A and B are shown apart, each in its own frame.
Chain A
Amino acid sequence: MSTASSTEHAAASHGHEHPKWLAHHFDSPAQQFDTAKLGMWIFICTEILMFGGLFVAYAIFRGQEPQMFHQAHEHLNWRLGAVNTIVLLFSSLTAALAVRQSQVGDRKGTSRYLVLTLLCAFGFLCIKYIEYTAKLDHGLLPGRCFGHPWFGDHCIGGGAAVLPAAVHGLSTRAHMFFAIYFMMTGLHGVHVLVGIGVLSWVLMRNMRGDFSKGYFTAVEIGALYWHLVDLVWIYLFPLLYLVG
């Protein structure tokens, strides 16, 4: 291994300004930025595989009992689902605009769009809360809770599930639909919460003045994560609310 030219290399990298935010193991800001972005893309692959398991479960059980899925889905409020879809799509737009503003060094603009994105995220969760409450009122929680509004007796804990013969005109087997519904939207909801955490952190750093034209990595990868949250919902909405 030759180290003859490496002295030059080291000297060159030292000659450039070495900003505070550039970690010691990177040579250039571009390298650090690309590294962070690649990391987030790989993480997104992981997330998609994680949801993938639930999508497979959905496909299998819907394939087995399409009619049950059709009946059960009518208990979901597609209007609220549609509103949430629009809210999330809009929030993806504002997240992308936040990245754009940080690229041109507009700190205020970045903050503005991040706040809008966060408001959309909270709006999404509020609507989800209304939907979940209705399901709980109707005793549509899956598993042992099925048929028992809110958390009835024997809902949590050991023993086999004792399910009533019918709930709101649905056969007992409809609890499978709600099992998948709650797992998928629940996991997605957790991702919305994590997204809120990530974007709040980005917003805080932006307000502190951490970012500039040359350094906006966190804004970019935060927005990338938020697009994933949006992407998953784009599939969940038609599959769960619009079963035809």
Chain B
Amino acid sequence: MSTHGEEDLLNTNYLKAGTGVKSWLLTLDHKRIGVMYLVSIIMAFFLGGVFALLLRLELLAPGRTIMTAAQYNRAFTLHGAIMVFLFIIPSIPAALGNFIIPVMLGAKDVAFPKLNLLSFYIYVIGTIFALFSIISGAVDTGWTFYTPYSTSTNSSVVSMTMAAFILGFSSILTGLNFMVTVHKLRAPGLHWRRLPLFIWGMYATSIIQVLATPVLAITLFLLAMARVFGLGIFDASLGGDPVLFQHFFWFYSHPAVYIMIVPGMAVVSELIATFSRRAIFGYFAIAMSSLGLALVGFLVWAHHMFTAGISEFAAMLFSALTFLVAIPSGVKVFNWTATLYKGSIWLTTPMLYAIAFLIQFTIGGLTGLFLGTLATDIHLHDTYFVVAHFHYVMMGSTVMAFLGGLLYWWPKIAGKMYDETIAKVSFALVFIGFNATFLVQFIMGSRGMPRRYYDYLPEFRPYHAFSTVGSWILGLGFIVYAYVLIKSLRSGPKAPPNPWGSAGFEWASESPPVLANFREVPTITRGPYDYHLTTDEELFDGFPEDAPKKA
């Protein structure tokens, strides 16, 4: 480097390298950008969560409970749009990924640090559009913006679609940045066969982000044009085709489901390997199944449209292709389970979240097969069965992985440990609350309770009431989780470099890492799960006393 001062700065703890608001807002450091994303998405999650609790409260009893039908339509749209576009898509990639990927790779930063900061501000601008839409009357179309309703309703569709359009660009640029980083900035010795599975998962996610999101952009742009100029591409009365909107929308939004779940799988692969203290079973199979999901994810979009009037032949084809998704998903689940076998399992809170992921993803994944089957889908389409299915995948899997991953890397991010006991309490509440909320929704869905309905028949009342009580437990669990993080920030003990005794590369950095991540460029001489090649010094440096020793 050019000067001594710079050298010193690069070797300073990233949290202390620069003070003041400006040093954060204008930072090019991927770790600080990751932290800013983390704060933003937690706020988005809170906002989306409040809408969710209000929805569940409204559904506590039939008829009006706390809001009107029109308000209810807006509330579920905002819950969906905020959770999808503002929280879950950027959650693991932009927040945890931004922080961890370069550290895992032994790189000093992502490939394009300025572009990274730009994607953050694009995200902020998109969020402002979304908030503007909420204030100026909100949207009542559902997060899917289906035409023709979205072109005729007088709620503020244009600003919300523009928000999603802008947020899409943030997502594309982040994905692009990560792809190039993985290709070009790996430390010496870190060849593709040694890449951590988190990196493989994020790489697969980035491919989807880069290839699918632009299609959403053009679709939403055409929708906005339809509203402003009456452009007829999606309007049947003008010679257009509203089903084309659905095709375009799901061409993005089905792969987007993999933008949401593959990062979750990526985190869980790390958690399970670390806390089983053994080499992950089927490393190559897990890595390739991430890419497999990225590929197959592009070929199944029309399974959202079996009842939209697509041809029987197309429906059969898409149904058959949908079953292919089960293969890479199954490969992962079996390999994770096999990793547990004969591992020395250490049940920390992150590991509990990983196990919850395994259970809930299996339920969410298998019920997906019911929906991919043509005959059952006709019965279950647009019922609470679908709601339960995707919440088991999105929330029961991705959010669990996010919560587990955040605690797992928390010592690296904050440089402090968290209170394991209270964290376990919050896990118990989240796990029980989540399953109480959504398991009953499978039952009422299969008995014909349609989704997005404001009112319902009295026979569904017990299920709805049960689900609502579950949502309160879940909400309480999140409050306790937030308390764990705040308590750690205020009074947590200082974290050692490798508190979990992991063989993962990111744990060779300091906690928290220096600005350049490592004082010297690391040379990688083994895989990230090669516990048989590690030294005790690597694993147990600063390791807490009560943890199980190497098997």
> Cβ of B314: which chain A residues have Cβ within 8 Å of it?
none
* Cα(A54)–Cα(B244), bound, Å: 11
Partner of A2, one of B10, B115, B177, B523: B523
* Cα(A179)–Cα(B241), bound, Å: 13
Q: Mark A79-111, 1 if CB is under 8 A from B, else 0.
A: 000000000000000000000000000000000
Partner of B219, one of A26, A53, A65: A53
Partner of A57, one of B172, B244, B525: B244
Are B184 and A35 in contact (CB-based, < 8 A)? yes
> Cβ of A161: which chain B residues have Cβ within 8 Å of it?
230, 232, 235, 238
* Cα(A7)–Cα(B211), bound, Å: 40
* Cα(A100)–Cα(B248), bound, Å: 40
> Cβ of A180: which chain B residues have Cβ within 8 Å of it?
233
Are B521 and A9 in contact (CB-based, < 8 A)? yes
> Cβ of B218: which chain A residues have Cβ within 8 Å of it?
50-51, 53-54, 187
> Cβ of B212: which chain A residues have Cβ within 8 Å of it?
49
> Cβ of A49: which chain B residues have Cβ within 8 Å of it?
211-212, 214-215
> Cβ of B235: which chain A residues have Cβ within 8 Å of it?
161
Partner of B109, one of A25, A51, A144, A183: A25
Instruction: Tell me the minimal C-beta distance from A74 to chain B in angstroms.
Output: 18
Are B215 and A52 in contact (CB-based, < 8 A)? yes
Are A65 and B522 in contact (CB-based, < 8 A)? no
Is B210's beta carbon under 8 Å from chain A? yes
User: Contacting chain A: which of B38-46, B221-229, B483-491?
Assistant: B221-229
* Cα(A24)–Cα(B517), bound, Å: 12
Are B229 and A142 in contact (CB-based, < 8 A)? yes
Are A179 and B107 in contact (CB-based, < 8 A)? no
Q: A residues 153-192 with Cβ under 8 Å of B?
A: 155-158, 160-161, 163, 172-173, 175-176, 179-180, 183, 187
Are A142 and B232 in contact (CB-based, < 8 A)? yes
Q: A residues 198-241 with Cβ under 8 Å of B?
A: none
Is A66's beta carbon under 8 Å from chain B? no
Are A176 and B1 in contact (CB-based, < 8 A)? no
Instruction: Tell me the minimal C-beta distance from A182 to chain B in angstroms.
Output: 8
* Cα(A18)–Cα(B7), bound, Å: 14
> Cβ of B2: which chain A residues have Cβ within 8 Å of it?
18, 20
* Cα(A26)–Cα(B538), bound, Å: 27
* Closest A residue to B248 using CB positions: A53
Are A1 and B523 in contact (CB-based, < 8 A)? yes
Q: A residues 100-156 with Cβ under 8 Å of B?
A: 141-145, 155-156
* Cα(A25)–Cα(B238), bound, Å: 54
Are B184 and A31 in contact (CB-based, < 8 A)? yes
On whether A155 and B229 interact (CB within 8 A), knowing A2-B523, A39-B180, A176-B238, the answer reads: yes
> Cβ of A53: which chain B residues have Cβ within 8 Å of it?
214-215, 218-219, 222, 248, 251
* Cα(A6)–Cα(B1), bound, Å: 16
Partner of B523, one of A3, A13, A42: A3
* Cα(A54)–Cα(B183), bound, Å: 31
Are A65 and B237 in contact (CB-based, < 8 A)? no
* Cα(A16)–Cα(B291), bound, Å: 38
**By DSSP majority rule, is chain B's interface helix, strand, loop, or mixed?**
helix
Instruction: Tell me the minimal C-beta distance from A217 to chain B in angstroms.
Output: 12
Task: Give the most central of A14, A25, A42, A158: most B CB within 10 Å.
Answer: A25
> Cβ of A50: which chain B residues have Cβ within 8 Å of it?
214-215, 217-218
> Cβ of A4: which chain B residues have Cβ within 8 Å of it?
523
Instruction: Tell me the minimal C-beta distance from A88 to chain B in angstroms.
Output: 22
* Closest B residue to A49 using CB positions: B214
Q: Mark B500-544, 1 if CB is under 8 A from A, else 0.
A: 000001001000000010001111111000000000001000000
Partner of B180, one of A6, A35, A160: A35
* Closest B residue to A27 using CB positions: B521
> Cβ of A1: which chain B residues have Cβ within 8 Å of it?
505, 508, 522-526, 538
Are B176 and A39 in contact (CB-based, < 8 A)? yes
* Cα(A51)–Cα(B218), bound, Å: 8
Are A10 and B521 in contact (CB-based, < 8 A)? yes
> Cβ of B214: which chain A residues have Cβ within 8 Å of it?
46-47, 49-50, 52-53
Is B134's beta carbon under 8 Å from chain A? no
* Cα(A25)–Cα(B336), bound, Å: 35
Are A143 and B230 in contact (CB-based, < 8 A)? yes
Is B111's beta carbon under 8 Å from chain A? yes
Is B305's beta carbon under 8 Å from chain A? no
Partner of B1, one of A24, A39, A160: A24
Partner of A176, one of B176, B229, B232: B232
Are B1 and A143 in contact (CB-based, < 8 A)? no
Instruction: Tell me the minimal C-beta distance from A221 to chain B in angstroms.
Output: 11
On whether A183 and B225 interact (CB within 8 A), knowing A39-B111, A175-B232, the answer reads: yes
Are B109 and A173 in contact (CB-based, < 8 A)? no
List 8 other contacts, CB 8 Å, given A49-B215, A160-B237, A179-B232.
A18-B1, A25-B113, A35-B112, A46-B211, A52-B214, A65-B239, A161-B232, A183-B225
Interchain residue pairs A-B with the least CB separation, the first 10: A50-B214, A144-B230, A143-B230, A25-B108, A143-B229, A161-B230, A53-B218, A25-B109, A49-B214, A143-B231
Give residues in A with beta carbon < 8 Å to B: 1-7, 9-10, 13-14, 18, 20, 23-27, 31, 34-35, 38-39, 42-43, 45-47, 49-54, 56-57, 60-61, 65, 141-145, 155-158, 160-161, 163, 172-173, 175-176, 179-180, 183, 187
A-B contact pairs, 26 of them (CB 8 A): A1-B523, A6-B520, A9-B521, A24-B10, A24-B516, A25-B107, A27-B521, A34-B184, A35-B111, A45-B211, A46-B210, A46-B211, A49-B214, A50-B214, A53-B214, A53-B219, A57-B233, A57-B244, A60-B244, A65-B239, A145-B229, A155-B229, A163-B238, A179-B240, A180-B233, A187-B218
